[in-house]
A and B are shown apart, each in its own frame.
Chain A
């Protein structure tokens, strides 16, 4: 079946360093969403990308959707301790209601 993998699985950074997580799907995605899950919390929606090659920014976060719509990335500039959590990408299989989540990248920020 369809798989959505994320790398790295874990990342520890010093506060102020940049961070990037990559998301790769085995099939084409009609759109991709990113979620953040704080420790002990539930996933919360961050953003959605729809178009091939699309880039969106939210303050220090930059999201990109690949040209082939099979991969995506989330880049955080100058991380802060509030960025701690697990970041998931997610996307629906084309033509279905089935929504697949990536394996997640767990970010720790050291002050």
Chain B
């Protein structure tokens, strides 16, 4: 079974802190994604990566950056956490979008910024 693992289930950080969310997948997938999920807004794409060291902005990249140094790992970085970044963060991976393959999600990280 494909496994996508996020480093933390729950996280509480202070305003202004630099925050790292880690995601690892074990199926050699090309594509990895970071979404945030807020009530009534669905899943909104923050960043995605289709190859090592490659990244593309999603719909809401402001205040975030990402890193993909190895194929299996995709990190989301909040440069200076703010309270409006309190949310559920979901990482996903897929073999190849253009081959129309399903996405596999991690269990999510619920981040609270105080």
User: Within 8 Å of chain A (Cβ to Cβ): is B103?
Assistant: yes
- A-B contacts at CB below 8 angstroms, number: 63
- Nearest-neighbour CB distance to chain B for A37, whole angstroms, equals 9
Which one, A6, A30, A43, A100, contacts B45 given CB within 8 A? Answer: A100
What CA separation (Å) do A42 and B9 show in the bound complex?
12
- List residues of chain B with CB within 8 A of the CB of A9: 40
What CA separation (Å) do A85 and B68 show in the bound complex?
32
B100 A6 Cβ-Cβ under 8 A:
no
User: Within 8 Å of chain B (Cβ to Cβ): is A28?
Assistant: no
B40 A99 Cβ-Cβ under 8 A:
no
A88 B42 Cβ-Cβ under 8 A:
yes
Give A55-111 interface residues, CB cut-off 8 Å to B. 88, 90, 92, 97-104
Contact code string A10-38 (vs B, CB < 8 Å = 1, else 0)? 00000000000000000000110101000
Which one, B48, B105, B107, contacts A98 given CB within 8 A? Answer: B48
B106 A42 Cβ-Cβ under 8 A:
yes
A103 B108 Cβ-Cβ under 8 A:
no
A45 B43 Cβ-Cβ under 8 A:
no
Give B40-90 interface residues, CB cut-off 8 Å to A. 40-45, 48, 50, 56, 58-59, 90
Q: Which residues of B contact A (CB under 8 A)?
A: 31, 33, 35, 40-45, 48, 50, 56, 58-59, 90, 92, 94, 97-98, 100, 102-108
Query: Given known contacts A98-B48, A100-B59, what 18 new A-B pairs fall within 8 Å (CB)?
Result: A1-B59, A9-B40, A31-B100, A33-B103, A42-B90, A43-B90, A43-B92, A43-B105, A45-B103, A48-B100, A88-B42, A97-B50, A99-B94, A99-B97, A100-B45, A101-B43, A101-B44, A101-B45
Q: Which residues of A contact B (CB under 8 A)?
A: 1, 4, 6, 9, 30-31, 33, 35, 41-45, 48, 50, 88, 90, 92, 97-104
